[in-house]
Structure 1
Amino acid sequence: MHELARRARTAARSLALASRAQKDAALLATADALEAATERVVAANALDVEAARAEGTPENVVDRLLLDPDRVAAFAQGVRDVAALPDPVGEVVRGSTLPNGLRLEQVRVPMGVIGMIYEGRPNVTADAAAICLKAGSASLLRGSRSAARSNAAIVDVMREAIAAAGLPADVVQAVPADDRSSATHLMQARGLVDLVIPRGGEGLIRTVVEQSTVPVIETGTGNVHVYVDADADLDMALDVVLNAKTHRTSVCNAAESLLVHRDVAEDFLPRVTKALQAAGVTIHGDASFAAVAPGVLEASDHDWATEYLSLDIAAKVVDSLEDAVEHIRTWSSGHTEAIVTRSIDAARRFTLGVDSAAVMVNASTRFTDGGEFGFGAEIGISTQKLHARGPMGLPEMTTTTYVVTGDGHVR
């Protein structure tokens, strides 16, 4: 692991000097190479999927792992999208001339070596490598054992294309996932690795945060809420709830809890329970939900705290917007919350009251995504408050240096 990190550090020094044109050329070559290698990548992925199913992996988790030609084309396009974005390296964040004549500039510079520890979803391999490269940093990619063949194929293709484009292949490296020790060595390679980003379930993230000696950006789990206000358009609310819950269940921006104001419960609960159940969703609800539809399971504190990542939702009637906010602040993971309302005042109180990385007003939680925000392929969604919060694109993968220019100034 340390040898990989040393190679990454050497490559990162060369990459830091590369121009935007050189980095973009390497990314575009990588995107073309990934599409040309679709059959190779899909074949490697088929072995991972077969092994996962043989181990009894739930289908919603298998869906996160699965690659087909369309998904390969999608993350190849994501690499092109990153190439098209402005280069953050060299951007002047702020600048001024001091009273003594010194010119002060805070300039974005590469982070150096970034380690990613993540589960499933081999598309993350291409996304993370592309973002790190464009931001001028080398990446050490430690995916899960379940996606080892997929990740290896993707990284091999990317390294070949990057080297052919004239940049060091070691700016992208796969970390072996045979056992957990490689992840431990990665997150404790202080001095060789500048930043570690965990992306996955609560257990993985907690382990990295607690055990890493390298600085960590915490990408949290998605215990996401939709609140239907007393002044909601109920047709809109139904559309938002269904999209947030059922559009894709295995992702962190899918809704896991539904809160409905008591003033609209009589009208809305029969409609939403019928629609959710028709879509195959199991409702874990309070007494109000149980009273309007058969098959509603009794909700407990476990349900309010759970990121299901499946066709399940916790549901509750609340007496006020303030009760909804209090429930969310108690149980939310700080990822995304949504309110459906026609009241500007209610929207304002909700957005100020909850404490999450993203807040949607009259929109599905599924929009919390770097691509949807126009950032290009994201590296993850930060739920912490230091350095980066929300979808992390290129700027969040840089740090800054103060460049001070004088004319023989002495103090």
Structure 2
Amino acid sequence: MNIDDYIVRKAEKASLAARILSNVGTEEKNKALLSMARQLKKSEDNILRANEVDLKNAKKSGKNSAFIDRLSLDEKRINSMSEGLEKVASLPDPIGEGIKTWKRPNGLSIEKIRVPLGTIGIIYEARPNVTVDASALCLKSGNSVILRGGKEAINSNSTIYNVINKAAVESGLPEGSMEFIDVTERDAVEVLMKLNEFVDVLIPRGGRGLIKSVVKNSTVPVIETGAGNCHVYVDAQADLDMAEKIVVNAKAQRPAVCNAMETLLVHKDIAEKFLPHLGNTLKKLNVEIRGCSKTQKLIPDIKLASEEDYETEFLDLVLAVKVVDSIDEAIDHIYKYGTKHSESIITDNYTSSQKFLKEVDAAAVYVNASTRFTDGGEFGFGAEIGISTQKLHARGPMGLNELTTTKYMIYGNGQTRK
């Protein structure tokens, strides 16, 4: 098989489908999404068998626990994917929405509306749920989608795709609305990244290495997502019971995701009271703590944190800790090491909270809440296609509106420009 020709054919098919999808009505799209949800549940056994093959191969190749967690499917996760499809079907359709209308002195009437982006390529790693989430959001927003998942999840992704694609086509959506690249060679991605003629935007989802590679090598426009070196800063005037609960949730509730906390910053004035008890709590949860020299004095038997630790998105039960002299030092640390994803301050001081909100440059900035809430579902978007950490064209969890662009429709009655 010639990989170049194979990818081009899929992209061309998706591009043709996008023209049709842009004019498909809300009722037809919702019908397809609900059918996809039903068939996903009915196919649970087949999906789990395929996932078991992927899990067996991943374990055999020595993948770590965080990787296995992202790859794993069970009844609960499949039900969650199905419910996500139903939720997206229930959301308002953004396509054709009138954003603004005005009239010029020369009589021209101008209307600004939402329209689809076109054909969206999704390049992702061992996250089978992305196959469903990305397809749901793209279809509801009138876009076709080309899916290219990681080789470690090839059996899971392929099985899921075949189920939902069949349901969508049988519901009346055009063939090519969803295309799946079922070859695992790296060359396939290289070809996809250069198909400006057929692909309107690429969205990479995965680790920092994948994202950097796509940003660097793609000629197709890229929306940068994902890498989350997230911080929680416990201020001098914080409710320490609340702070501990938030820190535990942000680190340990699901450590293998991009909105989990990777570094804890603690003000020096409360460090002696806060860190020893927190350290015991985290150790019971099997969190490995790597702290600065001040932290080491307060939490026994932990490693000294290195520069690399403060730079690292662990995606695991590992936490870097630093005691800081002030909120300014905390913000400076975040500017130096953060990835502009999600940052949180725990404080009862209004002035400190507002300073943090205004000065920290990130897609999501929290006061007295866990970074784990940076998620399309938690924000009420139904699902997300990724969390954008850039400033153009979208930022933060990307739902339906973020998968649209705008069009101006101008009505005249014979006007010519002087």
Please classify the TM superposition score into its range, dividing by the shorter chain length.
Answer: over 0.9
Q: Is the 8 A contact 1:125 1:154 kept in 2?
A: yes
- Residue 383 of structure 1 and its aligned partner are, at CA, apart by 0.2
Structure 1 residue corresponding to 2:310, chosen from 272, 282, 304: 304
**Secondary structure in 1 matching 2:315:** coil
- Aligned pairs for 1:88-237 (under 5 A) are 88-237=94-243
- Residue 407 of structure 1 and its aligned partner are, at CA, apart by 1.6
Structure 2 residue corresponding to 1:279, chosen from 262, 285, 291: 285
**Secondary structure in 2 matching 1:67:** coil
- Residue 295 of structure 1 and its aligned partner are, at CA, apart by 2.0
Structure 1 Cα separation of the partners of residues 308 and 107 of structure 2: 61
Tell me if 1:7 matches 2:4. Answer: no
1:239 — aligned with what? Answer: 245
**Secondary structure in 1 matching 2:409:** strand
1:330 — aligned with what? Answer: 336
- Residue 3 of structure 1 and its aligned partner are, at CA, apart by 0.4
2:4 — aligned with what? Answer: none
Cα deviation digits, residues 336-371 of structure 1 (max 9, x gap):
000000011100001111100001110001000010
Q: Is the 8 A contact 1:282 1:313 kept in 2?
A: yes
Structure 1 Cα separation of the partners of residues 352 and 277 of structure 2: 23
Tell me if 1:85 matches 2:59. Answer: no
Tell me if 1:266 matches 2:272. Answer: yes
2:321 — aligned with what? Answer: 315
Structure 1 Cα separation of the partners of residues 275 and 281 of structure 2: 10
The residue identity in structure 1 corresponding to 2:95 is V
Structure 1 Cα separation of the partners of residues 241 and 379 of structure 2: 25
Q: Is the 8 A contact 1:285 1:314 kept in 2?
A: yes
2:301 — aligned with what? Answer: 295
The residue identity in structure 2 corresponding to 1:2 is V
The residue identity in structure 1 corresponding to 2:386 is G
- Superposition RMSD on alpha carbons, in Å? 0.8
Q: Is the 8 A contact 1:144 1:177 kept in 2?
A: no
1:371 — aligned with what? Answer: 377
- Residue 220 of structure 1 and its aligned partner are, at CA, apart by 3.1
Structure 2 Cα separation of the partners of residues 284 and 138 of structure 1: 45
Structure 2 Cα separation of the partners of residues 409 and 80 of structure 1: 47
Structure 2 residue corresponding to 1:50, chosen from 46, 51, 56: 56
Q: Could you tell me the percent identity over the aligned residues? A: 49
Structure 1 Cα separation of the partners of residues 31 and 47 of structure 2: 22
Structure 1 residue corresponding to 2:40, chosen from 13, 34, 39: 34
**Secondary structure in 1 matching 2:50:** helix
**Secondary structure in 2 matching 1:170:** coil
Structure 2 Cα separation of the partners of residues 283 and 277 of structure 1: 8
**Secondary structure in 1 matching 2:242:** helix
The residue identity in structure 2 corresponding to 1:326 is D
The residue identity in structure 2 corresponding to 1:151 is N
Q: Is the 8 A contact 1:87 1:135 kept in 2?
A: yes
Tell me if 1:253 matches 2:259. Answer: yes
Structure 2 residue corresponding to 1:73, chosen from 64, 75, 79: 79
**Secondary structure in 1 matching 2:348:** coil
Structure 1: give runs of 5+ residues left out of the alignment: none
Structure 2 Cα separation of the partners of residues 372 and 177 of structure 1: 34
Q: Is the 8 A contact 1:220 1:334 kept in 2?
A: no
- Residue 176 of structure 1 and its aligned partner are, at CA, apart by 2.4
User: Normalization by structure 1: what TM-score?
Assistant: 0.99
User: Normalization by structure 2: what TM-score?
Assistant: 0.97
Cα deviation digits, residues 238-261 of structure 1 (max 9, x gap):
000000000001000000000000
- Residue 303 of structure 1 and its aligned partner are, at CA, apart by 0.5
The residue identity in structure 2 corresponding to 1:373 is F
Q: Is the 8 A contact 1:143 1:177 kept in 2?
A: no
Structure 1 Cα separation of the partners of residues 175 and 158 of structure 2: 14
- Residue 293 of structure 1 and its aligned partner are, at CA, apart by 2.3
The residue identity in structure 2 corresponding to 1:168 is P
The residue identity in structure 1 corresponding to 2:34 is L
Structure 2 Cα separation of the partners of residues 178 and 350 of structure 1: 44
The number of residues matched between the two structures is 411
Structure 1 Cα separation of the partners of residues 75 and 175 of structure 2: 25
Q: Is the 8 A contact 2:235 2:266 kept in 1?
A: yes
Structure 2 residue corresponding to 1:393, chosen from 376, 399, 407: 399
- Residue 70 of structure 1 and its aligned partner are, at CA, apart by 1.2
Structure 1 residue corresponding to 2:364, chosen from 358, 366, 387: 358
Cα deviation digits, residues 313-340 of structure 1 (max 9, x gap):
0001000000100000000011000000
- Residue 169 of structure 1 and its aligned partner are, at CA, apart by 2.9
- Residue 68 of structure 1 and its aligned partner are, at CA, apart by 1.0
- Residue 118 of structure 1 and its aligned partner are, at CA, apart by 0.4
* More off after superposition, 32-41 vs 176-185: 176-185
Structure 1 Cα separation of the partners of residues 56 and 365 of structure 2: 38
- Residue 146 of structure 1 and its aligned partner are, at CA, apart by 0.3
2:3 — aligned with what? Answer: none
**Secondary structure in 2 matching 1:310:** coil
* More off after superposition, 379-388 vs 53-62: 53-62
Structure 1 Cα separation of the partners of residues 81 and 340 of structure 2: 27
Q: Is the 8 A contact 1:382 1:392 kept in 2?
A: yes
**Secondary structure in 2 matching 1:328:** helix
Q: Is the 8 A contact 2:54 2:152 kept in 1?
A: yes
The residue identity in structure 2 corresponding to 1:98 is R
Structure 2 Cα separation of the partners of residues 293 and 347 of structure 1: 27
Structure 2 Cα separation of the partners of residues 335 and 317 of structure 1: 22
Q: What stretches of structure 1 move > 3 A for 4+ residues in a row?
A: none
Q: Is the 8 A contact 1:4 1:173 kept in 2?
A: yes
Structure 2 Cα separation of the partners of residues 261 and 404 of structure 1: 57
